[in-house]
Structure 1
Amino acid sequence: MTPDQIQSAVAAAMPQAVEDLKRLSAIPSVAFPGHPEEPVLAAAAVTEELLRSAGLPHVQQIPVEGSFPAVYGEAPAPPGAPTVLLYAHYDVQPPGDPAAWRTPPFEPTLIDGKLLYGRGTADDKSGIISHVIALRAFQGRFPVGIKVIVEGQEEYAGERLEAFVERNPDLLRADAIVVADTGNPRVGDPSVTTSLRGMAAFTIEVRTLNEPVHSGQFGGAAPDALAALMRMLTALHDENGDIRVPGLPRGTFLGQGPSEEEFRKTTGVLDQVSLVGSGSLADRLWSSYAITVTGLDVPTVSGAINAVQAVARARVTVRVPPAGDPKTTVDAVMDFLRQVTPWGAKVAITDFVVGSGFHADSGGKARAALNRAMERAFGRSPRDVGAGGSIPLVNTLVKQFPAAEILLFGAEDEDAATHAPNERVDLEELHRVAATEALFLHELALDA
């Protein structure tokens, strides 16, 4: 096929692909504990069906110990051609408060003819669909060998698929790996993600009393567990928002990051509210540590009673620079919290997870092929960007397949509201990303 024919085939595949994305995104495949398993398994079944429809001769669900099944597909390489592994995940974040959504989170809704709203439409069911569109363009006659792995529990951090990869390296061995779980800073701004921060997370529990006591009768002398926890959490940052934990210095990112105006618009920072931290935005977002309290177990305002709290819990997430050690980092944060614990409160820290970051090498044939493909699909050459988020599997792939080039790109632009209410994917961006992937497979075969 010629590049023109590939792009025409991708365009022709888009209407069906949009319907497939709607169908897949309507499934509430939240793989967090406490959520029903049936929708997650239903998403695996639909993913398997979609990969079969893409012309792969071999597709199956593969059990992953302690997790939901991965969906695997494969097509052998033509003689002398390289093999490409395509990655995505079919599980999604919980939707959060339904009242914060403009449209129901699991009723995919098309607005303005090009923005598809719904949980998972971007992260990462757009990744699955971009693979499917790209593969359908070749009608089963692929220019390179194809392997596809779509996991079912990426959002709830763990090391399940990573352990599977380590035990089954030959199954996923490839010359190039496409991870479709990132995106461009802006729609139409072609970019390749060359660094990822690692992550660590834990739950901290503070206890001060056997049980809650009357705030009028005992308040003023009884130690409040919630107040203790708040003091500890606020001690993590100074007044400027920089981290106070020793041993976690600010890093430096050599590429260009967003402007403050762009960042404020993308994140919805309110007027006259300052950004936090120091250094360039690229430094803060892509190469430095960040500590965020992502959850609190305390009485709700609507359910509040006049009592001094006996126990309070928080979920703390730490983002780690690409070269940082997540285990050392989380140890430093936990030690600091213990040091600043007031009033001799009892502290328990549980439910640890860690994942390493990633920094791409300078690039080889696969990156050169991607550059050409992206320039044709987007009309200009891509630039390198970092990502503040984490994809723990990537570091495992680096260790298992050191000779493979790992390429991160996708349809999740920074306005996509991933992990937030009103998640959406821009269908024109999805089209360009799918065209990029199909053209990349063609270009890589030419270099073989």
Structure 2
Amino acid sequence: MTPHYGRRMNGIPTGGVGVASGDVSERPVPPPPPAELADAVSRVLPGARTDLESLVRIPSIWADPAHADDTRRSAEAVAELARAAGPESVRIIQADGGAPAVVAHWPAPEGMPTVMLYAHHDVQPTGGDDQWTSHPFEPTERDGRLYGRGAADDKAGVMTHLAVLRAYDGRPPVGVTLFIEGEEESGSPTLTALLAEHHGSLAADVIVIADAANPAVDVPALTTSLRGLVDVVVDVAMLERPVHSGVYGGPVGDALTALCHTLASLHDDKGEVAVPGLVVAASDAPDQDEATFRSDVGLLDGVELLGSGTIPERVTHKPAVAVLGIDAPRVAESSNVLLPRARAMVSMRLAPGQDAAEAQRALADHLEKHVPWGAQVTTTPGTGVAEPYTLEATGPVYDAARRAFSSAYGNSSVETGIGGSIPFIAEFARTFPGAAVLVTGVGDPASRWHGIDESLHLEMFSRGVLAEALLLQRLA
């Protein structure tokens, strides 16, 4: 796809979106950052760390109605931190039924571009407080990492932006719009409405999204591709009511066993996704060390990796299917009856280039065709649809980002795909077609986003702040 460019601000053309560019690992590392800016970042880091811990203590799980007030409290805390960084204005906004978001403005000096700095202050559920080594909402440092829900995803992104603004004493060299969303972990259902209602105040020449990860704590990445996501609920029915398994078992089957047969058809013997008609893309990213990958994931001894190809290809450029939940009796509550109905939530990640609606239909068709024994089946498309996306990583804005990040980290930046889905990136690109979109972040493979014992590597956090500060300087 040929990149297009919007208006020019101070010699920097704003970018478009298209396909990811190639490997940049051979590019030379720029010289170290200016001492004055590095000193300013060092000066603000202790306070940023303290404020990050305060934000982590707020259980802003917008997806859980019981934490709606906590999410509002989190937005108010972010707004107060933003006010202290010297903006012209700060507002808390929300669409009808949506979570509170924070918008703050630092006006652009004459002739300078405006940069939107995006992150989100809502977090995932904990997955069970008792499974954490330390309490998920009491930030705890161990071995140079700060543990807590949201410490990496994405309150670290919030504090990266605020720390940069503090390093510039509230007078950044470019215009800045700080946009901190409150419902990203719920799929950003009202973001479209927010962007439409506040389009003028959110418009920017460059959009920096701090919600991704790096391949290592000392290797910065610009994310240039993301997998999509679709869900399907499959409901299998065989009986009008539960019946005695001893009296009728044999000639009469049960819905849960039929459902298990259906779900088993989603992969072949090698673990490849068996749903026909799906896009499989290629990646030129270097392969990862399998032992390190297994350790980062926490795979048990003897458990095999699924599929074929390099690990980056399997994680970022091929479809993946997972069964996220099954409605069935708990083992402790089971009895000797044949179950009349059973259902499951099936989630599928999509390779770049795949149409999400077509993939969702293909998944539903596959499930319906593989229900055994004449069982009745109903499939219901889920509402959490995210298109896969690729970004055009060319042009002066990306060149400036590579230099800034490589200088701050001391290693050349790389361009990577991520296996996760961030639906709002496509929304930003559609709403602001002239803006260059940069996807960055301060996570790493050990951060365990969405998992137990989520953490932030503190030294990487400091590098990420310096990198963003350098980026604003270079954009000016």
So what's the TM-score if we normalise by structure 2?
A: 0.89
Whether contact under 8 Å (2:218, 2:411) holds in the other structure is no
What is aligned with 1:144? 174
Q: 1:421 to 1:286 in 2, by over 3 A?
A: same
What is aligned with 1:55? 86
**2: CA distance, partners of 1:305 / 1:253:** 49
**Unpaired stretches in structure 1, ≥5 consecutive residues:** none
How far the C-alpha of 1:184 sits from its partner, in A, is 0.6
How far the C-alpha of 1:396 sits from its partner, in A, is 1.2
Matches within 5 A, 1:29-428: 29-112=60-143, 114-342=144-372, 343-428=374-459
How far the C-alpha of 1:314 sits from its partner, in A, is 1.9
**2: CA distance, partners of 1:94 / 1:379:** 35
- 1:279-305: CA deviation from partner (whole Å, max 9, x where unpaired): 222221111111111222222223333
What is aligned with 1:15? 46
How far the C-alpha of 1:350 sits from its partner, in A, is 4.7
Q: Secondary structure at the match of 2:271?
A: coil
Q: What amino acid sits opposite 2:352 in the alignment?
A: P
For structure 1, which segment, 343-352 or 391-400, has the greater mean C-alpha deviation from structure 2 after superposition?
Answer: 343-352
Q: Secondary structure at the match of 1:417?
A: coil
**2: CA distance, partners of 1:161 / 1:373:** 30
Q: Secondary structure at the match of 2:342?
A: strand
Q: Secondary structure at the match of 2:331?
A: coil
Q: 1:431 to 1:208 in 2, by over 3 A?
A: same
Whether contact under 8 Å (2:122, 2:183) holds in the other structure is yes
How far the C-alpha of 1:261 sits from its partner, in A, is 2.5
**1: CA distance, partners of 2:262 / 2:197:** 41
Q: 1:130 to 1:93 in 2, by over 3 A?
A: same
Q: What amino acid sits opposite 1:178 in the alignment?
A: V
Q: What amino acid sits opposite 1:234 in the alignment?
A: A
Q: What amino acid sits opposite 1:227 in the alignment?
A: T
For structure 1, which segment, 302-311 or 171-180, has the greater mean C-alpha deviation from structure 2 after superposition?
Answer: 302-311
How far the C-alpha of 1:344 sits from its partner, in A, is 2.2
**2: CA distance, partners of 1:108 / 1:36:** 19
Whether contact under 8 Å (1:202, 1:353) holds in the other structure is no
**1: CA distance, partners of 2:87 / 2:235:** 49
Whether contact under 8 Å (1:128, 1:150) holds in the other structure is yes
Whether contact under 8 Å (1:324, 1:357) holds in the other structure is yes
Q: 1:216 to 1:98 in 2, by over 3 A?
A: farther
What is aligned with 2:29? none
For structure 1, which segment, 214-223 or 65-74, has the greater mean C-alpha deviation from structure 2 after superposition?
Answer: 214-223
Whether contact under 8 Å (2:105, 2:176) holds in the other structure is yes
Whether contact under 8 Å (1:208, 1:346) holds in the other structure is no
Q: What amino acid sits opposite 1:330 in the alignment?
A: Q
How far the C-alpha of 1:436 sits from its partner, in A, is 0.6
How far the C-alpha of 1:237 sits from its partner, in A, is 0.7
How far the C-alpha of 1:167 sits from its partner, in A, is 4.6
Q: What amino acid sits opposite 1:67 in the alignment?
A: G
Q: Secondary structure at the match of 1:375?
A: helix
- 1:75-114: CA deviation from partner (whole Å, max 9, x where unpaired): 11000001101111111111112232111111211113x2
**1: CA distance, partners of 2:263 / 2:313:** 23
Q: What amino acid sits opposite 1:379 in the alignment?
A: G
Q: What amino acid sits opposite 2:61 in the alignment?
A: V
Q: What amino acid sits opposite 1:373 in the alignment?
A: A
Q: What amino acid sits opposite 1:360 in the alignment?
A: L
Q: Secondary structure at the match of 2:186?
A: coil
**1: CA distance, partners of 2:474 / 2:188:** 35
Q: What amino acid sits opposite 1:268 in the alignment?
A: G
Percent of matched pairs sharing the same residue: 39
Q: What amino acid sits opposite 1:91 in the alignment?
A: D
What is aligned with 2:471? 440
**1: CA distance, partners of 2:325 / 2:53:** 30
Alignment length (residue pairs): 443
Whether contact under 8 Å (1:158, 1:353) holds in the other structure is no
Computed over aligned residues only, the root mean square deviation of the Cα atoms, in angstroms, reads 1.7
**2: CA distance, partners of 1:65 / 1:326:** 27
**2: CA distance, partners of 1:36 / 1:191:** 33
**2: CA distance, partners of 1:313 / 1:94:** 23
Whether contact under 8 Å (1:251, 1:284) holds in the other structure is no
For structure 1, which segment, 298-307 or 103-112, has the greater mean C-alpha deviation from structure 2 after superposition?
Answer: 298-307
Whether contact under 8 Å (2:230, 2:360) holds in the other structure is yes
How far the C-alpha of 1:153 sits from its partner, in A, is 1.0
Whether contact under 8 Å (1:195, 1:385) holds in the other structure is yes
Q: Secondary structure at the match of 1:352?
A: coil
Q: What amino acid sits opposite 1:63 in the alignment?
A: Q
Q: Secondary structure at the match of 2:332?
A: coil
**2: CA distance, partners of 1:211 / 1:87:** 52
**1: CA distance, partners of 2:390 / 2:349:** 15
**2: CA distance, partners of 1:311 / 1:152:** 37
**2: CA distance, partners of 1:139 / 1:286:** 39
So what's the TM-score if we normalise by structure 1?
A: 0.94
Whether contact under 8 Å (2:165, 2:171) holds in the other structure is no
Whether contact under 8 Å (2:227, 2:349) holds in the other structure is yes
How far the C-alpha of 1:275 sits from its partner, in A, is 0.5
